[in-house]
Amino acid sequence: MSLKGLTPRFWVAAAIVVFTVLLGVIGPFIVHTDPNATVGGLYDRPKCCGILILGTDNEGQSVIANLVYGTRTSLIVGLLAGLFATVIGLLVGLVAGYRGGWLDDVLTAITNIGLAIPGIVVIILVSVSLPKRNIYTLAFVIGLVAWFWVARAVRAQASSVRTREHIDVARLSGAGFWSILMRDVLPYLLSYVVMAGVLQVSGAILFESTLSLLGLGPANATSLGTMLYWAIAWGSVRTGAWWAFFPPTLMLTLIVFGLLLLQSSLNEVFNPRLRRGRAARKKITEEAEEEELEEPIVGEPEPVGAAGMLETPVSSGREHR
Amino acid sequence: MVLARYLGRKVAWTLVVFFVALVLNFLLPRLIPGNPVDVIVGQMAAGGGAGGEQLQQVHEHFMKEFGLDKPLWQQFFVYVGHVLSGDFGTSFGQYPASVNKLIGQALPWSVAIQLPAILVGWIVGNLLGALAAFKGGWFDRVGFVGSLFFSSIPPFALAIILLFLVGVKMGILPVGGAYSFGLSPEWSLTFFGDAITYFWLPFWSIVLVFIGGQAVGMRSMAIYELGSDYVNYNRGLGVKDSKTVRYIFRNAMLPQFTGLALSIAAIISGGLITELVFSYPGLGTLLFSAIGQNDYPVIQAITLLITLAVLIANFTVDILTGFIDPRIRAAQSGER
């Protein structure tokens, strides 16, 4: 895959994501203010230049300081939870799909039950019960309910890869169970796993802010969600203090939008069929004459990798919302 | 009876999931170190307001209601018995009030806003997505990016922005609650006319996000179908496009239909937060205040209701899919 193959959409998405990450990583060093320090009154208007550039919140704290630290917290929770969920889902899906048999039945049953019970319900129940909530327990809990999607999709593909000939070759040459999984099965799924990981991260960030809005956010840190929680609880929307609620809203939207855009542009890169679909669509609407219908070399036969995701109706990219 | 067997399996499956949800609902809050009643009563005592004797009474009431003096498995049966008879117990936060009453007040508002929102969003979203896929060109580009944007905005973010712009800045629609002060819910035209103005903002914030998600899904399904073999084959045979499009639409529709079941949990939880933003007196707002007060019985009742709503929705979609999609019936009877 060369850089030329990347669409403008990819570059826009990458720019947004890089921007938010930089804000979260470098921001706190530039802003240099404790987000918990009181620097003004209730909802002071933004003043040019300095820590009051976005005014103050309901506790007289600097909004810009909270914003950069909050972005950092939200990104950390999202990354940890997304990584956690993807890894568990990948392992469960690989083992279930490749091993088959009773283990597959058990793991699939667990996955299906996990999918049927709304994640938010389990998260609320666990969070309410936790004696202490910090960003790590939060990330753990979110990861714990989010892996089912990945597991189901990975399982479907792993079990289709299992019947291929090169697996038999590997087995005959004496490769072990894990070695086959990692070296002969996993590479076929890698493009999908990367995309699923991106989706998981954005989903986890959304989950975190939803929980924070309900009042179940991390107790020891500012996140974008807890900023919104206070902004709504103290009626900043109604009193017109836009600087208290707009920056975190915008930030969250940017992060989530950027990640989803990244995922969908990666999808087009990894999945030639989506692009071919475009060409075919043009034909059916304009009835142009036959044009190159070049199959990508691996193309047609069995849907594996990113293409397979569109094949199975259940996971037709709708899986996230 | 192929369909009957299909239905039977779906019913059994739904019951299994419901049972697991019940166990989780029962078990998770009991994992707190100590027992929840001690924790709550301790907090009530620390917060002041209630006298020693009253606290004692509250404590005894809850110990009895949850059967906390019995072993865990007996507690579970007590819990299941209560739930199955539709009794969710007594609220911690607003003590003598029963949870049923609180839920009863909140639930109609949530249903009134979410059910129409889901139906409207699904229909409009799919039409839009299919149109974008067929038309192509600038319509597709604008429609796709727009839908992608709306679908990836966090639901509450759109709610906050709408509330601020339309409610606060322009002052067109009321900013919070469900009806004007001084009115009380009743079946009259005046009340309805008043309540509908409060209805629009939360309704549209849920619908717009949902339309976006559905349109994006439908577009990619339709585009994918457009590139598939039977379309090429039809073209080779010289079948008219208008006829092929019908097949495409039908095939692209099915995954969208199953997709509806899968996305329902996300819509419902997004809707709850939207209610919160508009202080709409539904389950979301009730959940919010219950969490603030550590009101376990109310929280448990609401989480169970959400699970139930999602399960029923999934079940309905499964059943309808069974009727719509001939392949499912065929697959069940093995006559593929």
- Quote the pLDDT of residue A32: 73
Q: Which of B152, B161, B220 sits opposite A317 (nearest CB)?
A: B220
Q: Please tell me if residue B154 touches chain A, with a CB cutoff of 8 Å.
A: yes
Question: Looking at the predicted structure, is the pLDDT value of residue B41 above 50?
Answer: yes
Q: Which chain A residue is nearest to residue B20, measuring alpha carbons?
A: A113
B 248-307: CB under 8 A from A: 254-256, 258-259, 262-263, 265-270, 273, 276-277, 287-288, 291-292, 294, 296, 299-300, 303, 306-307
Q: Residue B296: its chain A contacts at CB < 8 A?
A: 128
Q: A128, B226: Cβ pair inside 8 Å?
A: no
Chain A residues with beta carbon closer than 8 angstroms to that of B255:
313-314, 316, 318
Q: Do A118 and B268 touch (CB under 8 A)?
A: yes
ipTM of this complex prediction, to 2 decimal places? 0.79
B280 Cα to chain A: minimum distance (Å): 13
B161-200 residues touching A, CB cutoff 8 A:
161, 163-164, 168-169, 175-176
Q: Nearest C-alpha of chain B: how many angstroms from A28?
A: 24
In this predicted structure, the answer to whether residue B88 has a pLDDT above a threshold of 90 is: no
Q: How many CB pairs under 8 A join A and B?
A: 188
Q: Under an 8 A CB cutoff, do A282 and B244 touch?
A: no
Nearest to A245 among B160, B262, B273 (CB): B160
In this prediction, residue B33 carries a pLDDT of 60
Write the burial class of residue B229 (CB in 10 Å: 0-12 exposed, 13-18 middle, 19+ buried). exposed
pLDDT, greater one: B37 or B286: B286
Which residues in chain A land under pLDDT 70?
A: 1-5, 50-51, 271-321
Interface touch B157/A206, C-beta < 8 Å: no
> Which of B32, B227, B245 lies at the smallest CB-CB distance from A129?
B32
Given A121, A228, A284, which is nearest B241 (Cβ)? A284
Give the Cα separation of A259 and A299 in Å (integer).
27
A105: which chain B residues are within 8 Å (Cβ-Cβ)? none
More confident residue, B42 or A13: A13
Picking from A30-39, A154-163, B194-203, B238-247, which range would have the lowest pLDDT averaged per residue? A30-39
Per-residue model confidence as pLDDT tens digits over B278-334: 888 888 888 888 888 777 888 888 999 889 888 888 888 888 887 777 776 665 554
Chain B residues 11-70 with CB within 8 Å of chain A: 16-17, 20-21, 24-25, 28-33
pLDDT value, residue B46: 61
Q: Decide if pLDDT at B213 tops 70.
A: yes
Q: Which of B103 and A295 is assigned the larger pLDDT?
A: B103
Task: Write down the mean pLDDT value for chain B.
Answer: 79
CB-closest option in A116, A216, A279 to B311: A116
pLDDT at A80: 94
- Provide the shortest C-alpha distance from residue A273 to chain B (in Å): 7
Residue B328: per-residue pLDDT: 64
Find which of A16, A125, A246, A256 to mutate to test the B interface (most B CBs within 10 Å of its CB).
Answer: A125
pLDDT at B140: 82
Looking at per-residue pLDDT, the higher value among B198 and B284 belongs to: B284
What are residue A56's DSSP bridge partners? A62
Angle between helix axes A186-213 and A135-146 (nearest 10 degrees) is: 130
